[in-house]
A and B are shown apart, each in its own frame.
Chain A
């Protein structure tokens, strides 16, 4: 017989430890090669440190060694799911620097392409966001429709992902005859599918419960961190470069700047950032419908205003409202055929920097949701 003893358990002395978890770079939900160093207290996230640089390709240094035309394909590789949109600020900047006037037809085509690409990018954003929440089916619906947009881009430029289509001073080549009817068919299909996705995913009670009151980003914090695009507008800030400083033909069109309204939960939560993207797709459809009317049937030499030699002189900061936010290029030109310096300001980089601020105190499942709602592309962050 062993001696009987009273066992005293002092719960104050139980040793607990915070767990450090590496999320990524090989994780299904980091949207690329992002590594998040997460500190966990049980399931609660106490600290997040994003580690970037796994996709660094010396974009800016490459540009210094390429001619102005050779820079365009590199710019495609920044935000590789919105390549058309990426090319626009660069082309506009060079045109402004060299004083090139581009015809309204080309501007209208560029507008249509930018908005089509915005739809494609937002489709991926909503699709992967749904997948982060565990819904796999809307992902495939949206990817199916994105194919239609990629088909149009393929017929225009020959590429499905990287286009090199919008050149400083014009376009690579003219649109094909059925372009307008194809685009209008896409608009119809996008609206149909969005209705379906709204029913299946966005209005789903589980999805709403998963996304509301998660990752709340107050408006002042969003501005201080330099957020832009749907991440900023989701917090209720009415700021869109298309409206604030119109470029291309955006001042001629009637469209709304969608801002988060805190419909289900708090203003600026993940639900708001996502729903803003859904609304923006509808606004893009409206813009496309107005812009295709400005494309005359008569064909035109779209390469007419492309200068024989691109060798501008001066400095310019050029920017455009990309699907992810404000993409800007600071171009220092010294009169040679290569840029002296080209600095990119990528929206995803600024948007990602807010992640540690807004994801503390939530669960690890929420961290994935918050990351999905910010909608980052690593090609743009690491450049």
Chain B
């Protein structure tokens, strides 16, 4: 409870729990609006055009307009679909990504749930999305949806393995799966972040290549995990129309959309926690108050959201077999070797133990 200021304010009662649960929901809604606007505006910036300009000042109200449009659209359930699965799958997918927000910190004074196995918990619940996609793809009774769903299942399950190895390396360096512990170890300036092999003597630079490899492996994995370009084959528009969400419209489509964007934040927040020192300021104790910590955490996470959007409008899409080749024959061996190096570093590091 020491990391949740709500409990200090209202005491340890039911209201504290309710407020704690509502804040992430409000946050994810606001974030989704910002991210949708960001996607539109960054795309137009990359593509040398203006983007939305008519809704509000420079089109800033465009995401609201789109949400309203999706809300008032007719909610079509096609005739021959498996109705229960079809209707529940967008919510399953969103539940998976929203559940992860329970353990994602905002600042040292506000973590909705401080779990001992926080990292593991986030990783576990964000794999929930694959069930939603598979359900949606299968129940739509559409060949394109089925192809998309099956592609997605194969992709997400394969990419979890190298990603899990990166998480394992971080856990071994921090000697903990607790997110607060992991962030606390990285205190004291950017030099102590895990992307620079964490705190330790200067000869830690020997192990920097290993952690960079793991960082890249994890980042590429996040692109596949969130179905973003170049790994957006489950919804590859030019091949299989809309993939698993071909048959969805209105609010249910919005839920898929929402889940995709909140998933982008979840993986970016995980990168921030694991490699970039979480809420810690890059300048040690300078600008490191609780409000500044909020700023640092959100900026770092949003930077990676930006990189994901940026990549989407730059790169073409890989093919299914190339996708599998990359994960099993390139990323996995590299991750194993890098994990070995990091394990050695964790053993030799005099500061943590």
Contact = CB atoms under 8 A, between A and B. Distances in A.
B315 interface: yes
Interface of B: 46-49, 143-144, 147, 229-230, 232-233, 236-241, 313-322
Contacts of A133: 238, 316-317
10 contacts: A27-B241, A134-B236, A134-B315, A135-B315, A137-B314, A140-B47, A206-B318, A207-B316, A363-B321, A365-B320
Given A21-B143, A137-B46, A144-B48, 18 more contacts: A21-B144, A134-B236, A134-B237, A135-B315, A135-B316, A135-B317, A136-B313, A140-B47, A140-B48, A140-B49, A206-B316, A206-B317, A210-B319, A210-B322, A363-B321, A365-B233, A365-B236, A365-B239
A137 B47 contact: yes
A43 interface: yes
A134 B314 contact: no
A210 B236 CA distance: 14
B143 A19 contact: yes
Interface in A175-221: 200-201, 204, 206-207, 209-210
Given A140-B47, A140-B49, A364 B240 contact: yes
A375 interface: no
Nearest to A200: B314
A141 interface: yes
Contacts, number: 75
A28 B317 contact: no
A96 B233 CA distance: 53
B144 to A, nearest CB: 8
A131 B313 CA distance: 11
B236 to A, nearest CB: 6
Contact of A141 (B47, B229, B237, B320): B47
A366 interface: yes
Nearest to B317: A134
A368 B147 CA distance: 15
Contacts of A140: 47-49
Nearest to B320: A43
A111 interface: no
A149 to B, nearest CB: 17
A135 to B, nearest CB: 4
A206 B230 CA distance: 8
Given A19-B143, A134-B232, A365-B236, A204 B316 contact: yes
Interface string A1-41: 00000000000000000010100000111000000000000
Contact of B315 (A27, A28, A204, A365): A204
10 closest cross-chain pairs (CB), A and B: A134-B317, A135-B316, A133-B316, A29-B238, A140-B47, A134-B316, A207-B316, A132-B238, A365-B239, A365-B319
B319 to A, nearest CB: 5
Nearest to B146: A19
A204 B319 CA distance: 14
B316 A364 contact: no
A333 to B, nearest CB: 45
A328 interface: no
A130 interface: yes
Interface string A335-364: 000000000000000000000000000011
Majority SS at the chain A contact face: helix
Contacts of A207: 316
A144 B49 CA distance: 9
A210 B230 CA distance: 12
B238 A131 contact: yes
A126 to B, nearest CB: 13
Contacts of A137: 46-47, 313-314
B317 A363 contact: no
Contact of A28 (B49, B241, B316): B241
Given A134-B236, A368-B239, A209 B322 contact: yes
Nearest to B322: A209
A134 B46 contact: no
Contacts of A364: 147, 239-240
A130 B241 contact: no
Nearest to B312: A136
A366 B147 CA distance: 15
B135 to A, nearest CB: 20
Given A137-B314, A140-B49, A368 B238 contact: yes
A132 B236 CA distance: 9
Contacts of B322: 209-210
A97 to B, nearest CB: 44
B141 to A, nearest CB: 13
Nearest to A206: B316
A43 B147 contact: yes
Given A19-B143, A137-B314, A366 B48 contact: no
Contacts of B236: 134, 365
Contacts of B48: 140-141, 144
Nearest to A20: B143
Contacts of B229: 134
Contacts of B143: 19, 21
Interface centre among A141, A200, A210 (most CB of B within 10 A): A210
Contacts of B320: 43, 363, 365
A200 B47 CA distance: 12
A238 B245 CA distance: 46
A19 B239 CA distance: 16
B316 A130 contact: yes
